[in-house]
Amino acid sequence: MSASTGQQVQVPAPNAGLLKLAKDIFAGTCGGISVTLVGHPFDTLKVRLQTQPVDKPIYSGVVDCARKTIQWEGLGGLYKGVTSPLMGQMFFRASLFGAFGASKRWLATNSDGTTRPLVWSDFYKAGAMTGFVAAFTEGPIDFYKSQLQVQIIRSKMDPNYKPPYTSVLECVRQTIRLNGFKGPFQGLSATLLRNTPANAAYLGSFEVLKQKVAAAHGVQTTDLSAATITACAGTGGIIYWLIIFPVDCIKSAMQTDSIDPAKRKYTTIPTTARLLWAEGGVKRFYKGFTPCLIRAAPANGVMLLTVDKVTTWLNKNT
């Protein structure tokens, strides 16, 4: 097999679509809960560093941000807004891993209904398709989480500031009351721009790395150790953020902007990119990069390990 196509992987015919989708959804939900518990504190630090004012920064770096968060809000401050991702995990991970499984089965199906083995490029295509679909569920989750995470920054900048939201539900009510059902999709364009290529690299690399390691050891991917799967997943997570972090900064700025369209500063991707560049050039697009990179390997490793092992168990026992 040439390097351009990679090792082929036989994909079963999609003759049990609903059952397979249900397995993908359940495994994805389990993985989503695990990644939230492990990764949310790092995400809180990332968003706060990304969105603090450049001229009067609240935090000098990731360690200072963690210290002040705990000092001002207790350990619970690191999990600010966690209700949103936890509540949304069923929908988000259902779309993410449901779409990834469905995309792989679709790519493996020929026009005449027969199936073919997937090649390496197919995993990247499936990841891109997955990222696009999942943006519509991840976007609202990130939006509400981010709105709650930045309230502490605004309160430190303005002593008279009163946080408008006391909970995720209050934030949901206010955004829908003001903007209707478009409210939760604030910053969706940036989420799509981030998720499509990032998930192609993330999920595609994870699958290809598993295949390469399994081939090198002469085993099936289901026989790989937990440490190996975690390493493949962690590497995929690091690749995700290395290639797309500046777009994530744009997304964070748009999602933490005012929910009132008349008061928004970051109205479009080009406008946001121009304003962020004016604040600090290239460096401005890498604020919060350290906690994000620290989070990437363990959080994504735990999530994809959970999904992989739950899927394997379901396939053996159902």
Residue 1 in any domain: the answer is no
For residue 109, what are the β-bridge partners? 115
Average pLDDT, consecutive stretches of 10 residues, N- to C-terminus, the chain (318 residues)? 44 59 82 83 86 86 92 87 66 81 92 91 97 93 88 81 84 93 95 97 95 94 89 92 94 94 95 95 91 84 87 84
Q: How many CA atoms lie within 13 A of 124 on its CB side?
A: 13
What is the CATH classification number for the domain harbouring 119?
A: 1.50.40.10
Looking at the domain assignment, is residue 101 inside a domain? yes
Decide if 118 is inside a domain. yes
- What is the pLDDT, as a whole number, of residue 103? 94
What pLDDT is attached to residue 160?
83
Using the CB atoms, write b or e for 127-153: b if 16+ within 10 Å. Answer: bbbbbbbbbbbbbbbbbbbbbbbbbbb
Q: How many structural domains comprise the chain?
A: 1
Quick one: pLDDT at residue 16? 56
Domain membership of residue 6 (yes or no) is no
CA gap 100, 201 in Å, rounded: 13
Helix residue spans in the chain (DSSP H):
17-51, 62-73, 83-107, 120-149, 151-157, 168-179, 188-217, 226-255, 269-280, 289-317
Q: Which residue range forms the structural domain that includes residue 233?
A: 17-312
Is the CB of residue 122 less than 8 Å from the CB of residue 108? yes
Task: Examine residue 297 and state whether it is found in any structural domain, yes or no.
Answer: yes
Q: Has residue 223 been placed in a domain? A: yes
pLDDT of residue 4: 43
pLDDT of residue 235: 93
**Looking at residue 67, what is its pLDDT?**
93
The predicted pLDDT at position 139 comes to 93
Q: Output the CA angle 227-228-233, nearest 5 degrees.
A: 100
Triad 241, 247, 252: Cα angle to 5°: 100
Residue 23 belongs to a domain: yes
Residue 300 has a pLDDT of 83
